Amino acid sequence: MLSREEAEEKSEALLEPKRRRLRKKRQRRRQRRALHQILVGGVAGFFSCGALGDYLVGDAHPWNLVGLGIGILLAAVLQRFPIA
């Protein structure tokens, strides 16, 4: 029979690789979520400024690129300073 300290040491030795894998998995998921937010912000800005530029000026091309930049910038700022 193992003493309490030995049992805790063995338990930690068994659980440490699983914890390490879980930490890596959470980190990858956080990175994917951040990339997804930036892409969604960029696409939303691309289409909304393209439509607005087409409506106001009659040419969508330069405005959708401006919207892409604004959307990506806004998503990056919201990631850095989250609202909720």
Query: How does pLDDT run across 35-63, given as a tens digit for each residue?
Result: 998 899 899 999 999 888 888 888 888 88
- The per-residue pLDDT for 84 is 62
User: How far apart are the C-alpha atoms of 7 and 36, rounded to whole Å?
Assistant: 43
pTM of the model: 0.67
Mean pLDDT, all residues of the chain: 89
Detail the DSSP E strand segments found in the chain. none
d(CA 20, CA 16): 6
Domain that residue 71 falls in: 4-80
Indicate the number of domains in the chain: 1
pLDDT band at residue 19 under the 50/70/90 scheme: very high
Percent of the chain scoring above 70 in pLDDT: 99
